[in-house]
Amino acid sequence: MWQIIAFLLLLIFPGIAMSDNSTNLNAYKFSFISIDGRNLHLSQFEGKVLLVINTASRCGFTRQYSEIQKLWATYRDKGLVVIGVPSNDFGGQEPNGEGEIQEFCKVNFGVDFFMTTKEHVTGDQAHPFYKWVSKEAGLLGKPRWNFHKYLIGPDGQVVDWFSSPTSPTSKRVVKAIEEALSGHS
């Protein structure tokens, strides 16, 4: 009976599934390669709030690019950094190379937030950031599809995560971003 109650609590309050940050790691210890081939060290964003999203161009959630761009335009001057991480891990929905991905995002959604090269976000081949953040977010916080979102606070720790169907401009996401930006996460 207690397992059922614990499971239900985790569904209702996903934050309690997060680990205890005792590893001394934070998001700023990781880096990616930007979609245009430059080093993208997350340490350059230390003290800012990060929204990291695994993306795909041929997904039913691809329309979220426009909402993500809207968040970026609204909050970038307040300290939000948005990073899209293209991945082909779910349904083969990002088969394109970096140039095609970049053009698709720019032409169709006006994307000018940070994008990385295509990465694995799950499994043994997952990018080290995704291995770390999946552990920190707990079992329920691992990406299960494209457009899974992680919110990282100014201290580099996981504040919250949002599943693929959660709109980037939903009240829940916006509230979490605003709280993290104000230091009340």
* Residue 24, pLDDT score: 74
Contact 32, 18 (CB under 8 A): no
CA 84 – CA 5 distance, rounded (Å): 35
* Residue 36, pLDDT score: 93
Domain formed by 27-182, architecture: 3-Layer(aba) Sandwich (3.40)
Half-sphere exposure of 29 (CA within 13 A, CB side): 13
pLDDT along the chain (185 residues), means of 10: 44 44 79 96 97 97 97 97 98 96 97 98 97 94 97 97 97 97 76
Ordered by start, the domain boundaries in the chain are 27-182
* Residue 139, pLDDT score: 87
Tokens of 14: 């996903």
Q: Is 49 helix (H, G, I), strand (E, B) or coil?
A: strand
Give φ, ψ of 18 to 5 degrees.
-75, 150
Q: What is the pTM of this model?
A: 0.87
* Residue 15, pLDDT score: 42
Q: What residues are annotated to the active site?
A: 59
